[in-house]
Amino acid sequence: MHRMIFGVLVVLFSAVASRGNIAMPASRALHARQVLRIIGFMYIPSLRRLDFIHFYKASVRFAMKDSNIVAGCLALLLLLVSPVAAKRPNVIFILTDNHGAWTLGCYGNKDIRTPNIDRLAEEGMLFTRAMSSNPVCSPTRATYLTGLLPSQHGVHSFLDNKYMVGPQAYYTLEEFETLPEILHSEGYVCGLSGKWHLGANRTPQDGFSYWITMVHGSTQNFYDDMIIQDGEIKKAPKYLTDLWTEHAVNFIEQNKDGDKPFFLYLAYNGPYCLGPSLSEPARNRHAEYYSDKELLSFPRDSIHPWQYNNKAFHNNIVSIRRVAAEVSGIDDGVGTIMDTLKKHGLEEDTIVIFTGDQGWMGGQNGFFGMGDHTRPIGAHDLMMHVPLIFRQPKQIKPGKTDIMVSNYDFLPSLLDYLGLEDRIPDKPKLPGRSFAATLRGEAIEWETAMFYEMEGCRSIRTENWKYVARRFPEGPTELYDMVHDPYERFNLFGQPRHAAIQREMAERLDAFFDEYADPEYDIWKGGRSKAHRLVAAEGHPEYRPQRKDQARKKLRGGH
Amino acid identity of 500?
A
Query: Using CB under 5 A, which of the segments 114-122, 351-359, 434-442, 541-549 binds Ca ion?
Result: 351-359
Using CA atoms, how far apart are residues 145 and 60, in angstroms rounded to an integer?
A: 29
What's the min distance (Å) between Cβ of 137 and Ca ion? 4
What's the min distance (Å) between Cβ of 138 and Ca ion? 8
Q: Which is nearer to Ca ion, 137 or 386 (CB)?
A: 137
Using CA atoms, how far apart are residues 455 and 263, in angstroms rounded to an integer?
A: 31
Using the rule CB under 5 A, is 357 a contact of Ca ion? yes
Cβ pair 381, 427 in contact under 8 A: no
x/- letters, 115..144, toward Ca ion (CB under 5 A): ----------------------x-------
What's the min distance (Å) between Cβ of 142 and Ca ion? 12
Q: Which is nearer to Ca ion, 98 or 284 (CB)?
A: 98
Q: Which residues contact 183 (CB under 8 A, 6 or more apart)?
A: 91, 190, 207, 263
The residues facing 96 across adjacent strands are 356
DSSP H/E element including 385: strand 385-386
Query: Using CB under 5 A, which of the segments 98-106, 113-121, 328-336, 415-423 binds Ca ion?
Result: 98-106
Q: Which is nearer to Ca ion, 98 or 374 (CB)?
A: 98
Q: Which is nearer to Ca ion, 97 or 522 (CB)?
A: 97
Angstrom distances, CA of residue 548 to CA of 210, 308, 310, 545, 551: 38, 10, 12, 9, 9
Query: Using CB under 5 A, which of the segments 26-34, 93-101, 172-180, 486-494 binds Ca ion?
Result: 93-101
Using alpha carbons only, how large is the chain's radius of gyration in Å?
25
Sign of the alpha-carbon dihedral angle for 297, 298, 299, 304? positive
Query: Using CB under 5 A, which of the segments 204-212, 219-227, 350-358, 502-510 binds Ca ion?
Result: 350-358
What's the min distance (Å) between Cβ of 97 and Ca ion? 4
What's the min distance (Å) between Cβ of 33 and Ca ion? 48
Q: Which is nearer to Ca ion, 137 or 424 (CB)?
A: 137
What's the min distance (Å) between Cβ of 342 and Ca ion? 30
Using CA atoms, how far apart are residues 154 and 521, in angstroms rounded to an integer?
A: 5
Q: Which is nearer to Ca ion, 137 or 266 (CB)?
A: 137
Q: Which is nearer to Ca ion, 143 or 316 (CB)?
A: 143
Q: Which of residues 144-163 bind Ca ion (CB under 5 A)?
A: none
What's the min distance (Å) between Cβ of 272 and Ca ion? 8
Q: In the set 90, 98, 245, 438, which binds Ca ion (CB under 5 A)? A: 98
Q: Which of residues 195-234 bind Ca ion (CB under 5 A)?
A: none
Burial class (CB in 10 A: 0-12, 13-18, 19+), 357: buried
Q: Are strands 368-369 and 449-454 parallel, antiparallel or unpaired?
A: unpaired
Mutual angle of helices 26-42 and 49-65, in 10-degree steps: 150
Sheet holding 449-454, edge to edge: 449-454, 457-462, 465-470, 478-481
What's the min distance (Å) between Cβ of 387 and Ca ion? 13
What's the min distance (Å) between Cβ of 559 and Ca ion? 25
Q: Which is nearer to Ca ion, 88 or 153 (CB)?
A: 153
Query: Using CB under 5 A, which of the segments 33-41, 90-98, 100-108, 492-500 binds Ca ion?
Result: 90-98
Between CA 45 and CA 49, with CA 47 as vertex, the angle to 5 degrees is 130
Using the rule CB under 5 A, is 97 a contact of Ca ion? yes
Using the rule CB under 5 A, is 273 a contact of Ca ion? no
Using the rule CB under 5 A, is 361 a contact of Ca ion? no
Cβ pair 453, 467 in contact under 8 A: no
Task: Report which residue's Cβ sits closest to Ca ion.
Answer: 137
Provide φ and ψ at 470, rounded to 5°: -140, 145
Binding-site residue total for Ca ion (CB under 5 A)? 4
Q: Which is nearer to Ca ion, 97 or 488 (CB)?
A: 97
SS3 445: coil
Q: Which is nearer to Ca ion, 159 or 227 (CB)?
A: 159
CA-wise closest residue to 208 among 183, 190, 181: 190
Cβ pair 197, 142 in contact under 8 A: no
Between CA 76 and CA 84, with CA 82 as vertex, the angle to 5 degrees is 125
Amino acid identity of 196?
W
Cβ pair 379, 337 in contact under 8 A: no
Q: Which is nearer to Ca ion, 319 or 392 (CB)?
A: 319
What's the min distance (Å) between Cβ of 98 and Ca ion? 4
Q: Which is nearer to Ca ion, 173 or 418 (CB)?
A: 173
Q: Which of residues 60-79 bind Ca ion (CB under 5 A)?
A: none
Q: Which is nearer to Ca ion, 371 or 456 (CB)?
A: 371
What's the min distance (Å) between Cβ of 136 and Ca ion? 6
Cβ pair 472, 430 in contact under 8 A: no
What's the min distance (Å) between Cβ of 146 and Ca ion? 17
Query: Using CB under 5 A, which of the segments 89-97, 304-312, 491-499, 509-517 binds Ca ion?
Result: 89-97
Where do the DSSP E strands lie in 184-304? 189-194, 208-214, 226-229, 232-235, 262-271
Q: Which of residues 370-429 bind Ca ion (CB under 5 A)?
A: none
What's the min distance (Å) between Cβ of 152 and Ca ion? 19
Q: Which is nearer to Ca ion, 242 or 372 (CB)?
A: 372
CA-wise closest residue to 279 among 96, 550, 547: 550
What's the min distance (Å) between Cβ of 339 and Ca ion? 27
Binding site for Ca ion (CB under 5 A): 97-98, 137, 357
